[in-house]
Amino acid sequence: MPKNRINGSVPSMESKKKRNLDSSDSTIKGKRKKTSEPSAVSSSSIIACEYADKVRELRKTIPCWSNMFSEEVNINDRIQAWMRLEVLGQPLLEKYAWAIPNEQALTICSSFGPLVEIGCGQGYWAKLLQEFGVDILALDKYTASKNTNKKNNKNKKDINNDNKQWLQVEYGDPKSLLRKDLCDRTLLLCYPDQAEAMAIECLEHYQGDIIIHIGELLVTGTGTKTGGSQAPWGRTTSADFQVNLAEKYHCVLQYKIPSFPFANDYITVWKKTKWTPGRSEEMGPDASDSDIDSVASYESKGGTGAAGSRTGGEQGHRNHNSDSSGSEEGSDDDEDRDCWQNIPDNERLPHPNVAAPMFQHLFLPKK
């Protein structure tokens, strides 16, 4: 179950109702509008630095920040660190957000606008991006501004209060992604599962091609830190979400952002994956070796080798996401379908040979 405090306590049902979710283009087929260039010294950069500066000051008071969970750290020092994080760190999380932005992170997000953020909390990231020149809609069913709330949500804080909303938040939940005005926007998720498993619902309803995830992810290989019921998936999103995300999308960018010692936060960008039919789809499940030889001979003589000549009708034209077949995505037929990821080389992350420092000697020296 997701947990929403530094000490890892599980939120009660009441706290879920009253929480403040501070956890909160040319490059994609030419369909996305290019956002305005940020100014050299924007107010968003100043606000972002304000949060980062306070975290840096807190870090100076916690000597074991970078290796807090090492067996080399004295237990008393670790207890002192937890106390400082609870007393001094928790208010920062509540005022700003669970994820700590910097200018690079904002620049990455701004390149994929327009955006919609579900579960935006008080709208800290959305505010920074808005001032960065990004067209972004900030939605949350708990912290929505009074004049946009469609339900009787009593947990409202006026803009500019101490625990303030950073901008006007519109009422919305994962089902809001079915709205026509949101279907072409990039989905931004920043620590969405702090009090409930919301991210998987967003994935089910989202109709667009690009998702930006901010927080911990096991499926990127970057690793997480938490244990117990949250291991190994981390504090940000559920196992169901991460598995489905990796199945339907592929990661095109990942960038390490500043984080507290109990987190390993990255900003990652995901693009919806296309699928190419496999052998049995294109040739038909009963294709023989002689059929394959005849197709190869035909193509070698200048034939087109069209999929229609190899399939047994419509089946060969269906892809993993069933976009062209008309069947529902995620059906039992999809799971048994013979298909392969069709990811262009320029959308694949480079995966060089890597090893932890103490094992790097296992690599042969370059000749």
pLDDT tens digits, one per residue of 97-112: 999 999 899 999 999 9
Whether residue 245 is predicted with pLDDT greater than 50 in this model: the reply is: yes
Chain centroid to CA 255: how far? 12
Pairwise CA distance, residues 190 & 267, whole Å? 9
Whether residue 228 is predicted with pLDDT greater than 70 in this model: the reply is: no
> What is the rounded average pLDDT of the residues 298-306?
46
Does the pTM surpass 0.75? The reply is no
- Residue 315 one-letter amino acid: Q
Pairwise CA distance, residues 198 & 100, whole Å? 21
Give the range with max mean pLDDT: 35-44, 81-90, 138-147.
81-90
Compute the radius of gyration of the chain from its Cα atoms: 24
Q: What is the pLDDT of residue 287?
A: 59
Q: What is the pLDDT of residue 165?
A: 83
Q: What is the pLDDT of residue 199?
A: 92
Neighbouring residues of 119: CB distance < 8 A, sequence distance ≥ 6: 21, 23, 24, 139, 140, 189, 190, 191, 192, 198
b or e along 280-313 (b: 16 or more beta carbons within 10 Å of the residue's beta carbon)?
A: bbbbbeebeeeeeeebeeeeeeeeeeeeeebbee
Q: Where in the chain is the domain with CATH 3.40.50?
A: 13-273
Pairwise CA distance, residues 44 & 139, whole Å? 20
Closest CA to 62 of 41, 32, 83, 46: 83
Q: What is the pLDDT of residue 25?
A: 41
Q: Are strands 249-256 and 266-272 parallel, antiparallel or unpaired?
A: antiparallel
pLDDT-derived band at 344 (thresholds 50, 70, 90) equals: confident
Q: Dig out the tokens for 291 from the structure.
A: 């059929």
- Look up tokens 């190419």; give the residue: 276
Class of domain 13-273: alpha beta
Q: pLDDT digits over 269-290, tens only?
A: 999 999 888 777 667 666 555 5
